[in-house]
Amino acid sequence: MLADNRPDLDAHEGQYHYGVMRRAIDAVDANPHATLDELAAAVGLSPAHFQRVFSAWAGISPKRLQQYLSLGHAKALLQTRHTLLDTSMAVGLSGTSRLHDLFLRWEAMSPGDYARGGAGLTIRHGWFDSPFGEMLIMATDRGICGLAFSAETGREAALADMRSRWPRAAFVEDAEGVAPEAAALGRMEGEARLHLIGAPFQIKVWEALMRIPSGHVTTYSDIAGAIGSPRAVRAVGTAVGRNPVSWLIPCHRALRKSGGLGGYHWGLPVKRALLAWEGAQTEGAA
């Protein structure tokens, strides 16, 4: 998990756990009815070690989590935990949301600031451990403005991707400076500020995503209707993919109407792991 005020943390634990989950996803795909012993053998661990890793990562048994990792999990979520976003909701440019016990408060750049490509902004960044592998956190003086995972893309590609969104900003590698934000996320309590950098339409989509409870999902078409643009499903999908603060703005909770996963900017295995982990956390809190 994320470290509390440890900017020098290496990401070995998060990478290790995510690596096991990544191999477990492949094993479940190959044999949906695999036993504990078979899954453990597929990921190269003893059954006892595999059980411990699963429990540390998700807090539930491998047998239960196996259901969350299955290809049919997205369809099951749409049947049992489908959030129909309020089509009359007023979408503004500020608000609050809750991720477990963490309050997220956000503000958006003005359209003029967005058009200037981040000119005049200094963005600090650092790498931290997470339940989904190594995670990049970027922040301005007003809050977290970027969050990305490197497990499927690699560190260099993830950083280049995030930097390209603000071509005129100044970037400083400063894990110590970002550590307070990382610590808040690691504890999942207190308050974390977000500084959203996007076009007005994108901001509307991201705010709609923030209204999906953890452990639940919605569809791209539901989001389009909720923001008053029911025909803009394709544009909504594009905006979801451009979310600069993955996980915190939960783009992984958006699915196709058919129950298909759709895309995910940081790789579908990460999306499946996110949905499985949140399902486990929701189950544990019930």
Look up residue 166 and give its two tokens: 């603000």
State the catalytic residue, choosing from 21, 251, 273, 275: 251
Phi, psi dihedral angles at 213 (to 5 degrees): -65, 150
Which residue shows structure tokens 């600031």?
113
Look up residue 155 and give its two tokens: 């560190």
Spell out where 91-248 has E strands: 94-99, 101-108, 122-128, 135-140, 143-149, 170-173, 189-196, 218-219
How far is the C-alpha of 133 from the C-alpha of 106, rounded, in Å?
25
Look up residue 94 and give its two tokens: 């500020």
SS (H, E, C) 65-95: HHHHHCCCHHHHHHHHCECCCCCCCCCCCEE
Specify the DSSP class assigned to residue 213.
P
Cβ-Cβ contacts under 8 Å for 216 (sequence gap 6 or more): 77, 81, 82, 83, 253
- Give yes or no: 251 in active site: yes
Catalytic residues: 251
